[in-house]
Amino acid sequence: MRELPHPSADNITLAQLMHALSDPARLEIVERLAEGDETCTAIGTGIELHKSTLSHHYRVLREAGLTRTTVDGRTRLIRLRRHDLERLFPGLLDAVLRAVRSQSTGRPSAAR
Amino acid sequence: MRELPHPSADNITLAQLMHALSDPARLEIVERLAEGDETCTAIGTGIELHKSTLSHHYRVLREAGLTRTTVDGRTRLIRLRRHDLERLFPGLLDAVLRAVRSQSTGRPSAAR
DNA sequence: TTTACTGTTGGACAAACATCAAACCTAAGC
DNA sequence: GCTTAGGTTTGATGTTTGTCCAACAGTAAA
């Protein structure tokens, strides 16, 4: 159960966070993570992107401080840093999750 | 009191919104707009960027649906689209405004 | 009309980004 | 040891971005 390098909570900036959330693929990933922790392949199924591209997105999310990744054997588990983010920017993650859900289920003209 | 082209509320996407908020300069602009409507030069004073660069940022914010710009004589008044955004993504703008405020006043290591 | 003011537009340029493909790495399983 | 499975890294490619500068456009004032 190793750990990957993550930014400490103090080093998370709002701009980087917003940037991590500015890509439709990453928003979809975050939306899935809201349901619960997931392994990389689990998240990837259904998103039509090359696995290296997905890996890139995982890294962006992680380095922005949005997710935490733990290595377990040859799979990685990704989860949202809910607690850190709530302490840092109260209400922000929840609002984003609500927004991304409403956007994906709301109108038929889904972004993408 | 002309109007500039703005996206209708239905055409505002979360990803574009997040992208508009992913730049430190734009976050600062938004933070100022939270205090109340402002003219372009008023916002610009204190932000060390070329006026054309600022103009570019105003456009990004406007086209993302974050702000509404009205032309009044030779000045333009910019304001946040609070109502539209609240209806579309409840709580999101407020959370962002709280976050940007806490980030700029919070730690000495201000982003930028 | 001429000048000044307020901003926008177009061009240029370097940096960053999203994407894919191929090579790579590490842990399991045989 | 060899192979497979799960991901990452590197390189390449085309696109977008942030920034400045110079030129422009519309409005107001002199």
The CA-CA-CA angle for residues A91, A95, A100, to 5°, reads 155
| Each residue's pLDDT tens digit, B80-91 | 999 999 999 999
Instruction: State residue A6 phi and psi, 5-degree precision.
Output: -130, 150
| Each residue's pLDDT tens digit, B49-95 | 999 999 999 999 999 999 999 999 999 999 999 999 999 999 999 99
Task: Outline where DSSP puts E strands in chain B.
Answer: 2-3, 38-39, 67-72, 75-80
Provide the mean pLDDT of chain B.
92
| Each residue's pLDDT tens digit, A16-38 | 999 999 999 999 999 999 999 99
Tell me if A79 sits within 8 A of A68, measured CB to CB.
yes
Instruction: State residue A111 phi and psi, 5-degree precision.
Output: -60, 160
CA dihedral angle for residue A76, residue A39, residue A107, residue B86, rounded to 10 degrees: -50
Range A81-99 average pLDDT: 98
3-state DSSP assignment of residue B90 = coil
Which nucleotides of strand C come closer than 7 angstroms to any CB of the protein? 5-11, 17-23, 26-28
What is the dotted CATH code of the domain comprising B2-101? 1.10.10.10
What is the dotted CATH code of the domain comprising A2-102? 1.10.10.10
Chain B residue with minimal CA distance to A64? B22
CA of B46 to C1' of D23 (A): 25
Question: What's the pLDDT at B104?
Answer: 84
Question: What's the pLDDT at B106?
Answer: 63
Q: How far is A14 from chain B (nearest CA, A)?
A: 7
Both tokens of B71, joined, read: 């032309």
Q: Which residue has the higher pLDDT, A112 or A12?
A: A12
Tell me if A81 sits within 8 A of A67, measured CB to CB.
yes
Domain residue spans of chain B = 2-101
Residue B67's beta-bridge partner residues? B80
Question: What's the pLDDT at B92?
Answer: 98
Question: What's the pLDDT at A37?
Answer: 96
Asked whether residue B47's C-beta has any atom of DNA/RNA strand C within 7 A, the reply is no
What is the band of A6 on the pLDDT scale with cuts at 50, 70, 90?
Answer: very high
- How many C-beta neighbours within 10 Å does residue A45 have? 8
